[in-house]
Amino acid sequence: MKPNLIAKDMADTYDRYFQNDGYRARYPRPNPATLEYLLRNGAADAERILDFGCGNGRYALALLARSNAEITAYDISAASLAQFENALSHTPFGERVRLIHGNWSRLGRSPRYDMILMLFGVLSHLGDRATRVAALKRMRGLLGAHGRLVVSVPSALRRRPRELLKWSLARRMHVALPPLSESGNIYFTRHIDGQPLTFFYHLYSPRQLRGELSEAGYAVQACEAESLLPEWWIAQSRALSGLDRLAARILPPAFGYGIRALAVPA
Ligand SMILES: C[S@@+](CC[C@H](N)C(=O)[O-])C[C@H]1O[C@@H](n2cnc3c(N)ncnc32)[C@H](O)[C@@H]1O
């Protein structure tokens, strides 16, 4: 399957995920540790932030409340942006937000952002390695000279072992077609309200994430475990997110549920 078909499928999957409100129910707020991380690493003083793959804006809305930044929020899912726009209409922040749907070309080409976010698996959804590195390069072109990229991706050691095994066996038997012919790439299906939703993912090791970032022209300043517990536990329970923050500090990056990296133009 070609990358552009992956994007089409992912738009359809996420449209249905946001439309039935499954996403908001599962992830009602951002991971507080990652939100603080963003604020500590530039978001608090940023003038312009791009949230690439913003979803329903759970991070962007929290950042708007804690900074004076203007936020460009981009997603391929129209339903995610509709949910974001609706939430925004109940806040005073509307004038600081630009919502962009569809083709990346609408993001322009000039380096204008102090910070770019690709949070909670967005990079993993984009397609094969060449597509992901091309996207990272494109983001690099949009970052100002002192800009920062924060990306978080699912860890191959923690996520979807059955699917990893299934596609690894398919590769050995030479029956896995691109992009599944590439190690770490999987499809998996989750049932939300009885509805099957199929996702394409690349599951990462810290080494692979660093490799893609450096090939795209970044210097990696930090690479760490984003959390020990699954994201939905943290997004739903303040008590668990507090405990998790302590645990994640001593967890090697590969053992994180997600791997979070901070990168700057090299
Ligand atoms: C797991 S959600 C994360 C959303 C948000 N960053 C968050 O932390 O809640 C992944 C998001 O990536 C978006 N996405 C998937 N493929 C994309 C692509 N090719 N371009 C832009 N966004 C994409 C989806 O529509 C979805 O909103």
Residue from 2, 52, 125, 199 to probe ligand 1 pocket by mutation (most atoms less than 8 Å from CB):
125
| Greatest alpha-carbon span in the chain | 56
**Atom 25 of ligand 1, nearest CA residue:** 77
Per-residue model confidence as pLDDT tens digits over 199-212: 999 999 999 999 99
- The pLDDT profile of the chain, 266 residues, written as one tens digit per residue, is 454 789 999 999 999 999 999 999 999 999 999 999 999 999 999 999 999 999 999 999 999 999 999 999 999 999 999 999 999 999 999 999 999 998 888 898 888 999 999 999 999 999 999 999 999 999 999 999 999 999 999 999 999 999 999 999 999 999 999 999 999 999 999 998 888 999 999 999 999 999 999 999 999 999 999 999 999 999 999 999 999 999 999 999 999 999 999 999 99
Dist. CA 185–CA 160, nearest whole Å: 11
- Strand partners for 191: 196
DSSP 139-174: HHHHEEEEEEEEEEEEBTTTS-HHHHHHHHHHHHTT
**Å from CA of 122 to ligand 1 middle:** 5
Instruction: Centre a 10 Å sphere on the Cβ of residue 122 and count the other Cβ atoms it contains.
Output: 22
Every domain of the chain and the residues it spans: 3-155+204-265
**Å from CA of 135 to ligand 1 middle:** 13
Asked if residue 122 has its Cβ within 6 Å of ligand 1, the reply is yes
For 117, phi then psi, to 5°, come to: -110, 135
- The atom number, within ligand 1, closest to the CA of 77 reads 25
Asked if residue 10 has its Cβ within 6 Å of ligand 1, the reply is yes
Contacts for 23-30 with beta carbons within 8 Å, 24 or more apart?
23/55, 23/56, 23/80, 24/56, 24/83, 26/232, 26/235, 26/236, 27/58, 27/120, 27/231, 27/232, 27/235, 28/58, 28/235, 28/236, 29/58, 29/62, 29/235, 30/58, 30/59, 30/62, 30/235
Asked if residue 253 has its Cβ within 6 Å of ligand 1, the reply is no
Asked if residue 34 has its Cβ within 6 Å of ligand 1, the reply is no
E strand or H helix at 138: helix 129-142
Q: Which two tokens stand for residue 222?
A: 């930090």
Asked if residue 77 has its Cβ within 6 Å of ligand 1, the reply is yes
Report the topology of domain 3-155+204-265.
Rossmann fold (3.40.50)
Dist. CA 101–CA 92, nearest whole Å: 22
**Å from CA of 172 to ligand 1 middle:** 30
Degrees to nearest 5, angle at CA 160 with 154 and 163: 125
Per-residue model confidence as pLDDT tens digits over 1-56: 454 789 999 999 999 999 999 999 999 999 999 999 999 999 999 999 999 999 99
Sign of CA dihedral 99, 100, 106, 111: positive
